[in-house]
Amino acid sequence: MPPRIVLIGPPGSGKSSIARALARKLGSAAVDTDLMIETSAGKKISEIFIEEGES
């Protein structure tokens, strides 16, 4: 199994952009967990935060 890299930082800091570039460079896949959550919940992260809070 290839090693995993996790990028953590505040919103808008470029995590997704860096993840895509790094994945291309390493010949791997980038996974956007926000997109996974939005797909599963059927709503945007911002809507989830408004309805349920951020914690």
Q: What sign for the dihedral angle of Cα 16, 7, 20, 38?
A: negative
How many Å apart are CA 55 and CA 51, to the nearest integer? 11
Structural domain including 43 reads 15-52
**If you average pLDDT over residues 16-41, what whole number do you get?**
94
* Domain annotation covers residue 5: no
* Domain annotation covers residue 32: yes
Question: Into how many domains does the chain fold?
Answer: 1
* pLDDT tens, position by position, 2-25: 789 999 999 899 999 999 999 999
- Picking from 10, 37, 31, 9, the residue whose alpha carbon sits closest to that of residue 19 is 31
**If you average pLDDT over residues 37-42, what whole number do you get?**
96
* Domain annotation covers residue 2: no
How many Å apart are CA 52 and CA 28, to the nearest integer? 34
Residue 55, pLDDT score: 76
